[in-house]
Amino acid sequence: MKPLLLLCLILPLAGCASLNRLGPDEREQAAGRVYVVTGASSGFGRGVALRLAGLGARVAVAARRREGLQSVAAEMRRAGGEVLVVPTDVAHADQMQHLAQATLQRFGRIDVWVNNAGVGAIGRFEEIPLEDHARLVDVNLKGVIYGSHIALRQFRAQGQGTLVNIGSVESEVPLAYQASYAASKAAVLSLGRALNEEIRLSGQHGISVATVLPWVAATPFFSHTANYSGRAPSMIAPDDPWQVVEAIVWVSLHPREELPVGWKAWGAYAAHRVFPDLSERIAADVEHRAQMVSGPPAPSTSGNLHRPLTQAWTVEGNAQPGTAPDAGRKAAE
C-alpha cells in the first residue's frame, strides 16, 4: 500500500512536468552556438551531439575512445553539423583543459558546456572494490568540477555562457546498492546550487548553471556499469533516452537551476521533498527486489570504469553498435 499511497500524494505535484520539446525558436537559438559535450560517444551525450548537429550548432565532442567519437562525428557531419573530435578522460584536469583550448582554437568561444560523462557501480557498498569507488568519484564528481571550473572561467571572460551538468534522480533520492553513484550525483546537484548563488552574488547575469535530473533511461549505461551484485543490472520502468536528450538541449537554451525530466523524475523529486524517509525506503525496497532478488545471475565486472568499452556506441541501449535509431536520424536532419 505504501507505493500506492505515495503515488496518490505526489501525482498532483508531478503535474508540473513538461516535455521540454524543441521547436523552430530553439533551432534559431542553437544555430551557430558553440557547445562542448563530454561523454559523447554513447547514451545521452551522443544523442545531444546528434541533436545539436541537426540544429546547426558547432560541437566539440569528448570521450575516452577516439573510435566512438569518430562514429558520432560521422553522423553529425552527415546531418550538416560542424564537429571537433577531442579524445578526453574527464578525470584528468589537464585533458579537460586541452579540450577547452582545442575548442577555443577551432571555434573562438564556448557558449555551452555540457558535463555529461558518467559511470556507475552496482552492489553492496563494502563489496565494491575501493579503487572502483575512487574511479567513479574521479569521473562523476571531479570530472564535473574540472569542467565547471574551466567553463565558468571562460564564461566570466566572455561575459556569458551556460553550464549544463547531468545529475540524476539519485541526486535527490539515493538508491541502495548504488551508494557512491548516488553520492556523486548528490554532489553534482549541490555544486550547481552553490555555483548559482556565487553567480547571483557576482551580479554577472549572463552566466547560468543548470542541473538535469533524469530518471533511469534505456541507454548503454547499464551494459557499461561496474556490477558486483551477483545479478544482471536492472532498469525499473526506464524512460526513452531521447526524452532526456531533448530536455538537455532545451535547458541549454532556456536555463533553469534544476530540471527533473519526465513525470517519474518530477514525482520522485517532489515526493522526496515532502516524504524523504518514506520515499527512500520505498525506492530501496523496489531496488532490492529488482536488483538483488529477481534478476538473472551475472558475473562481477568493473565495467567501463578503468577502461573504455568498444561496444554500444549508440544512444539507445538496445541498438546495435555503429547504428543510430530513427529518433537520432530524425534529430540530425
Reading the block at residue 28, the C-alpha cell is 534559431
Q: Pick from 222, 231, 265: which is nearest to 121 by CA?
A: 222
Reading the block at residue 175, the C-alpha cell is 538508491
CA gap 153, 93 in Å, rounded: 14
Active-site residue, from 177, 181, 228, 269: 181
Whether 181 is catalytic: yes
Instruction: Give yes or no for a contact between 195 and 148, defined as CB atoms under 8 angstroms apart.
Output: yes
Instruction: Give yes or no for a contact between 58 and 105, defined as CB atoms under 8 angstroms apart.
Output: no
Centre a 10 Å sphere on the Cβ of residue 147 and count the other Cβ atoms it contains. Answer: 26
Torsion of CA 245, 38, 35, 160, to 10 degrees: 100
CA gap 269, 279 in Å, rounded: 10
Alpha-carbon separation of residue 119 from 11, 173, 254 (angstroms): 31, 18, 27
Amino acid at 144: V
Strand order through the sheet with 258-261? 82-87, 58-63, 34-38, 112-115, 161-166, 207-214, 258-261
Q: Which residues participate in catalysis according to the annotation?
A: 181
